[in-house]
Amino acid sequence: MADFVNMKKAGNSISYGKIFGVLAGILLVLIVIFNTFISVDSGHSGIVTTFGKVNEAVLPEGLHAKIPFVQQVVMMDNRVLKAEAQCTSASKDLQTVATTIALNYRVSPSSSANLYKNVGVDFQNTIVIPSIQDSVKAVTAKFTAEGLIANRQSVGEQMKEAVAEKLDNYGLQVEIFNIVDFQFSDEFNAAIEAKQTAEQNALKAEQDLERIKVEAQQKIEQAKAEAEAYKLKSEQITNEMIIMEYISKWDGKLPTITSDNSMMFDVNSILEQAQLNSAQVNP
């Protein structure tokens, strides 16, 4: 009886061992299968390493096979990436300039393997940010502080070209370069504000002077016109016009009293006396 029980236990142990072995085999096969295929996501490229050594071939988007446990695939993002850098530099006239730059760039798929091999995945902090800062300092030194403000577009283009030249060596392509902000010292800002105020005051004074000149010229022209009109009017007034004007206003009566500067005469009385004498002479 004891031998039968022992044989049964031994049989159960063999059965459990077979089941465990089968499950382990299935699990191993699944692990091998999962490690044999790799899917590269859209917008990415796959960097294949064999025992840590980077292969030159880059896997494009889609499903690919690899040697399980021997090869590994590192995903490289080839979509547009953004970097923002802060840079403090000096202008040509030795003014301190704090600049904020926003850069959009992407990793070229064909250069992904070399970038990973030479730099790694933290290329933004290793290459991009330092390249931006170095380029900003080099271009800023070519302009005065006022020149940076007045020629902002030209400054941005030169900075973009400098950054693009540096990043191109690593297979990084510059898409968009923007100068977000220029910041200057408080002293410089105060000097700029004072200069602008002085220029505005000078412009206002110049405009006021021009206005005064125009108004004075207008008065001169007006006086000339009035004088010319008066002259023409004077030339048109003649003795005949005066007599005609007087006649048009005369009521037909002679002056009642006149004088020869020594005596006063009553004209009407003299005329009446003359008529009386005429009547006596010619009854």
Using 50, 70 and 90 to split pLDDT, how confident is the model at 4? Answer: very low
For 102-159, the pLDDT digits (tens) are 999 999 999 999 999 999 999 999 999 999 999 999 999 999 998 998 999 999 999 9
State yes or no: pLDDT of 216 exceeds 90.
no
Q: Which of 34, 39, 37, 81 is nearest to 60 (CA)?
A: 39
Name the strands in the sheet holding 71-77, side by side, starting at the edge strand that comes first in the sequence.
53-59, 44-50, 71-77
- CA atoms of 7 and 44, how far apart (whole Å): 60
What integer pLDDT is reported at residue 91 of this predicted model?
92
Report the distance separating Cα 216 and Cα 204, nearest Å: 18
Residue 142, token pair as written in the block: 């070519």
Q: How much is the average pLDDT of 188-216?
A: 71
pLDDT at residue number 228: 75
**CA-based diameter of the chain, in Å?**
211
Give residue limits of the domains in the chain: 2-76, 81-190, 251-283
Fold annotation for 81-190: Tetrahydropterin Synthase; Chain A (3.30.479)
Which DSSP category does 41 fall into? P
pLDDT tens sequence across 69-85: 888 999 999 999 999 99
Q: How confident is the model at residue 30 (pLDDT cuts 50, 70, 90)?
A: confident
The pair of three-digit structure tokens given for residue 103, joined into one six-digit string: 């850069």
- Of the listed ranges 53-67, 120-134, 227-241, the one predicted with least confidence: 227-241
* Range from 11-20, 60-69, 152-161, 176-185 carrying the lowest mean pLDDT: 11-20
The identity of residue 71, as a single letter, is Q
240 has a pLDDT exceeding 70: no
Strand, helix or coil for residue 241: helix
